[in-house]
Structure 1
Amino acid sequence: MGQVETGVLKTHTIVHFTPSNITAEIESIEINYETIKEAIPGDYVTLHVKSIHTRELRPGLIGSDPTNDPTQKS
């Protein structure tokens, strides 16, 4: 669970998570157990990520577009 800070998050989007260095496709997005097609800044969302076990995604990870100025580990 996390908050969308900027941009629009859509299903079937490829997202890169930093600092874990995981890249995966968003299968679905939920707000309060309701599936939605996209999330906007300020939305608190739960992501279902393709081919990634939930234990691999932990609090503090930052998701970004890997093709458009992705976040970097400092």
Structure 2
Amino acid sequence: MSLAEIKHEIAALSPEEQEELRRFMIIERLRNDSAWKAELDRRIDDVRAGNYYTKEDLERIHAARLASDS
């Protein structure tokens, strides 16, 4: 199948199907990216070690940053 045929097939999809395909392609690209895998592993290790922000922490940090920017 040529690139033009693929584009034609994608154009025939509904907006929801196009979005699903876009998300699928992003996931597939990342799945094969060794740097992304290493960063994901690092973040998982951080969480397992107890190094993470809660939702409340992030909201407090964000509010403080907004207040300091004003």
Tell me which interval the TM-score lies in, with the shorter structure as reference length.
Answer: under 0.3
Greater relative contact order (CA < 8 Å, ≥ 6 in sequence): 1
> TM-score, with normalisation over the residues of structure 1?
0.17
By percentage of residues, which structure has more helix?
2
